[in-house]
Amino acid sequence: MRKFDLVVLGGGPGGYVAAIRAKQLGLNVLLIENNELGGVCLNWGCIPTKALLKVSEFKNNIKKFKDFGIEVNGKITFDIKNIIQRSRNVSKQLSNGVKHLLKKNNIEVIKGFGSILKNKEEIILSILKDEASNIKISSKNLIIATGAKPRLISGIDIKNDNIWTAKDAMVPKSLPKSITIIGSGAIGIEFASFYNDMGSKVTVIEMENRILPNEDLEVSETARNIFVKRGITFLSNSSLISVDTSKNRIISKIKFNNKTIDLESEKLLLAIGITGNIENLGLEKSKINTENGHIVTDDKMRTNVKNIYAIGDVTQPPWLAHKASHEAIIASETIAGLKDVHSLDKNSIPSCTYSYPQIASIGLNEKQAKDKGLKIKIGSFPFLGNGKSITMSASDGFIKTIFNDETGELIGAHMIGTEVTELINSFSIAKQLETTEKDIMNTVFAHPTLSEALHESVLAAYNRAIHF
Amino acid sequence: MPIFIKMPSLSPTMTEGKLSKWLKKKGDQVTPGDVLAEIETDKATMEIEAVDEGILFEIKVDEGAENISVGSVIATIMEENDSEDDMTSNLDLEMNNNSQVIDNTNNNPEYDEIKALSNLDFDEKTINEDRIRISPLAKRLAIKNKILFKEIKGSGPYGRIIKKDIENFSRSKELLNDDFNKRIDVQDNNFSDVPHSPMRKVIAQRLVNSVNEAPHFFLSVDCNVSELNKVRNQINSGAMKISVNDFIVKASAKALKNVPKANCSWNSDFIRYSNTFDVSVAVAIDDGLITPIVRNVERKGLEEISNEIKDLADKAKKGNLALEEYQGGNFTVSNLGMFGIKNFTAIINPPQSMILAIGKAEKKPVIVNDEVKISEIMNVTLSCDHRVIDGALGSLWLNKFKSYIENPSLMLL
């Protein structure tokens, strides 16, 4: 039986990063992946959806051509097949990139389904390759990075061609005339934005009293106003009761403000969250603790069982690719015995929604900060006051910053508008370096840039904004 | 002069690439700016443009070829004045130089510097004593709370003081400032106040709980360890070194297996009996103690037990114990024999039910068959939680333990 220092189960943004870091630290590593390298993120999540959303950004920009003095004579048309094909090509290119990276680092990859057979002094794993052959290997350490799958609603059968999960929505055979989306988190909103821009009639069902319920209330409200203006229908405080698929259409029974309504659409997309891939891994036998379908770990990504670690979507929220990659580094460095391995501060993980307009945030929102009893200072700056966004004819949205009034700590930043998913990283660095409002105020921002709005938002928190 | 088109490097770490497409063919006239070929790497595709004018004389790698080393010649361009002989002779020269080119990319000084930096031990070598590294937020918090920067040990990169360090420091200070301390004259310099470490707080809380909640009673017995020492000396004459404590751990597990009713813990609604025989070992560490646990002791040999205890004690001293390495179990061994302590009573480590306090083994006169003989005697004292262990049960266990210690060969069974 072959022996390894570390086996990584799953080759997504958690798993492949863990394998490379461990190899850098001199460990003998094996990566086991059952599907494509790069995981959901690269193949069926972050990356292909960003490729699709770039198309809707183009489409929106075309509408602005006239403002810029450009006349397009003749019809602008598109073929959804080509749009999907490009998105798939992008995924393929990056998945190949991961393959190259692993090869460059001399990391062995076995395609198959790995599971824990025994866990005594060493961890014995079985790898099922294409249903037929089964090999056994032994390892001192294990990182479980098996990711997650869409959360489903009992009684709603995703085998039906008209009922989609995110993966189906990335590769439609044709453009649906209408689509009902259950859930208004990042995934639901990104697809709502895309399909609406492509011309589908979009209705979004949200259980909470507002869309994007994890974001700051003001961001939620602004997003809703912009989306509604662009033609998306939202039903908040509503939930899906049942689905009738008998007429090759979807008739969704929706409970909405204490009454029940029927909503007809061509497709139904479930975007109510995810649940960890914890089945058939041998977790029960090894007595690895799980909670609500996800593995429980400590801040060094250790499970309750010695030498077994878990990272990424299979663990506790937030479920974000960059969190998985970060946890990968922590797990591999801990296994290699490095000292001073830093822990992940869950309040310093940015999150992004790549709809049109984009939404990005980090840290606590206003309500969370107030619920914690913190004395806060809030600054807000609209892109309307930012020169660069006027030149771009993209002045929807704002940046909101929240500071601890007593210490000047940056507690949270919340933004909606053009390219805010790029701007958010400035605040990630600010939070990591523990800057106070003073440091950001004293920073020189290049002019003209969208980032100046970030500066002004901090100034505004202390009633010092210049441009608004 | 012939012009050599080489495999470009698209990133500092790139060592090889793929030639995905030729856009010119052999014999084509090329002018600056013409795209010759497309190169593909991990993530990017890049076009190679001609920078000189001439005729594409030779294509050295086929379309679709992979793993082409950076710097290797992929095509040659013939300039107006070149002859065909020029082309071949110069190419040989260029190919010979090639391996060197690649070596250079691997050994470039920047790379080594990065490597050197990552090997630095930040703790010892990079903290300049005169300079205090502190984040802006930590600095403000420290000033606000009137804390001297130099009192704080930074846990950030390069020993930088961060918010967490100030918070931990203030929390321990707050505890000092409770009512009791306020009554002390703060001007008096005849004492120094050391804030509680997190470990000290845990020890305090758990042991107060134990004393308040678990009714302790104590059973004491003398064990004759003469026989045990004989066996131990035999074993230790080789490379293997087994301590008396290793025997005690083994004997404890054996006794637990013989008296399974004692292998239990008190819980609010039930008594939990364990099916495995695990023994915790008290280990003194800087500013406190911790009790790592040896599991399934009854199944392990002395050597394995000894190695495991060493390994756990080592980890405990470095603060590297994982949660499952010190939680659980029903029974602890605490040995102060090495400090010359004759006997003592220990406080039970909750939610366990027993703890065995081991004293120093000493030569003593013992009366055997009305004759005075010299034997080595070790006194042990068992503390029991009376909620789950009654006097008879505790005594039964202790006698079993004693019989294993006095007849070590029984442990082989």
Quote the pLDDT of residue B115. 43
Q: Name which of A49-63, A172-186, B97-111, B337-351 the model is least confident about.
A: B97-111
CA distance, residue A456 to nearest chain B CA (Å): 20
pLDDT tens-digit readout, A302-344? 999 999 999 999 999 999 999 999 999 999 999 999 988 988 9
List the catalytic residue out of A414, A447, A455, A467. A447
Q: What is the pLDDT of residue B102?
A: 39
Residue of B nearest to A297 (CA): B323
Averaged pLDDT for residues A459-465: 95
How many CB contacts within 8 angstroms connect chain A with chain B?
A: 49
Question: Which of A187, A189, A198, A180 shows the shortest CA–CA distance to A54?
Answer: A198
Asked if B163 and B135 count as a contact pair (C-beta separation under 8 A), the reply is yes
Question: Is pLDDT of A457 > 50?
Answer: yes
Q: Is A386 exposed, middle or buried (0-12, 13-18, 19+ CB in 10 A)?
A: buried
Tell me, which fold does domain B3-109 have in CATH? OB fold (Dihydrolipoamide Acetyltransferase, E2P) (2.40.50)
A402 burial class (0-12, 13-18, 19+ CB within 10 angstroms)?
buried
Q: Which helix (H) or strand (E) element contains residue B374?
A: strand B371-385
Q: How confident is the model at residue A417 (pLDDT cuts 50, 70, 90)?
A: very high
Higher per-residue pLDDT: B184 or A161: A161
Find residue A261's DSSP bridge partners. A254
Locate all alpha helices (DSSP H) within A146-275, ordered by sequence.
166-170, 186-198, 217-229
Q: What is the pLDDT of residue B116?
A: 41
pLDDT in tens, B260-303: 999 999 988 889 999 999 999 998 887 788 899 999 998 899 99
Per DSSP, B376 falls in state E
Q: Which of A198-207, B123-132, B390-399 has the lowest mean pLDDT?
A: B123-132
Instruction: Write out chain B residues lying below 8 Å of A336, CB-based.
Output: none
Residue B135 in contact with partner chain A when CB distance is under 8 A = yes
Beta-carbon separation of A104 and B163 below 8 A? no
Which band of pLDDT confidence, cut at 50, 70 and 90, is reported for residue B43? Answer: low
Per-residue pLDDT reduced to its tens digit, A292-301: 999 999 999 9
Is the pLDDT assigned to residue A3 strictly greater than 70? yes
Chain A positions in Cβ-Cβ contact with residue B13 (cut-off 8 Å)? 104
Domains annotated for chain A, with CATH where assigned, are: 2-149+275-335 (3.50.50.60), 163-272 (3.50.50.60), 357-461 (3.30.390.30)
Residue with tokens 């009293």: A209
Estimate to the nearest angstrom the gap between the alpha carbon of A430 and the chain centroid. 22
Whether the pLDDT of residue B119 is over 60: the answer is no
Distances (CA, A) of A105 to A30, A99, B18: 12, 10, 17
pLDDT of residue B88: 65
Establish whether B386 is a catalytic residue: yes
* CB-based contact, B272 to chain A, within 8 Å: no
Interface of A with B (CB under 8 A): 93-94, 97, 100-101, 104, 298, 302, 304-306, 340, 406-409, 433-436, 438-439
Smallest CA-to-CA distance from A167 within A221, A93, A229, A87 is with A87
Q: How confident is the model at residue B186 (pLDDT cuts 50, 70, 90)?
A: very low
Of A97-111, A251-265, B273-287, the range with the lowest mean pLDDT is: B273-287
Contact A25, A3 (CB under 8 A): no
d(CA A433, CA A436): 9
Least confident of B197-206, B294-303, B329-338: B197-206
Question: Does the pLDDT of residue B97 top 60, yes or no?
Answer: no
- Report chain B's mean pLDDT, rounded to a whole number: 82
Structure tokens at B108: 């470039």
More confident residue, A279 or B315: A279
Residue of B nearest to A90 (CA): B43
- Domain range summary for chain B, segments of one domain joined by +: 3-109, 122-182, 212-412
Identify the pLDDT of residue B95.
Answer: 54
Whether this model's ipTM surpasses 0.85 comes out as: no
Instruction: Indicate if the pLDDT at residue B149 is higher than 90.
Output: no
> Number of C-alpha atoms within 13 angstroms, CB side, residue A191?
33
Q: Which helix (H) or strand (E) holds B338?
A: none
Report the C-alpha gap between B412 and B231 in whole angstroms. 12
pLDDT band at B178 (very low <50, low <70, confident <90, very high): low
| 3-state SS, residue B152 | coil
Separation CA B361–CA B378 (nearest Å): 4
**Looking at CA atoms only, how far is residue B354 from chain A in angstroms?**
25
- At residue B72, does pLDDT exceed 90? no
- Judge: B43–A306 Cβ closer than 8 Å, yes or no: no
CATH superfamily assigned to domain B212-412: Chloramphenicol acetyltransferase-like domain (3.30.559.10)
Angle between helices A186-198 and A46-64 (to 10 degrees): 40
pLDDT per residue as tens digits for the range A196-242: 999 999 999 999 999 999 999 999 999 999 999 999 999 999 999 99
Q: What gap in Å lies between CA B154 and CA A390, rounded to an integer?
A: 45
Look at residue A12 in the predicted model and tell me its pLDDT.
97
**Do B322 and A436 count as a contact with CB atoms less than 8 A apart?**
no
The residues facing A110 across adjacent strands are: A32
CA A302 to chain CA centroid, Å, is 23
Instruction: Decide: B138 and A437 in contact? Cβ < 8 Å.
Output: no
Average pLDDT of chain A is 95
Question: Which residues in chain B have their CB less than 8 angstroms from residue A296's CB?
Answer: none
- Of the pLDDT bands very low, low, confident and very high (cuts 50, 70, 90), residue B105 is very low
Residues in chain A: 468
Q: How confident is the model at residue B89 (pLDDT cuts 50, 70, 90)?
A: low
* Range B122-182 has CATH code 4.10.320.10: yes
**Pairwise CA distance, residues B272 & B260, whole Å:** 11
**Strands A108-111 vs A29-33: parallel, antiparallel or unpaired:** parallel
Tens of pLDDT, residues B202-261: 888 889 989 999 999 999 999 999 999 999 998 888 888 899 999 999 999 999 999 999
Exactly one of B139, B257, B295, B386 is catalytic; name it: B386
Q: What is the pLDDT of residue B130?
A: 62
* Residue B182 pLDDT > 70: no
Name A263's bridge partners: A252
Report the C-alpha gap between A96 and A90 in whole angstroms.
Answer: 10
Judge whether residue A6 has pLDDT over 90: yes
Q: Ranked by mean pLDDT, which of A154-158, A161-165, B132-136 comes out on top?
A: A161-165
Residue B110 pLDDT > 60, yes or no?
no
In this prediction, residue A451 carries a pLDDT of 97
> Is a pLDDT exceeding 70 seen at residue B127?
no
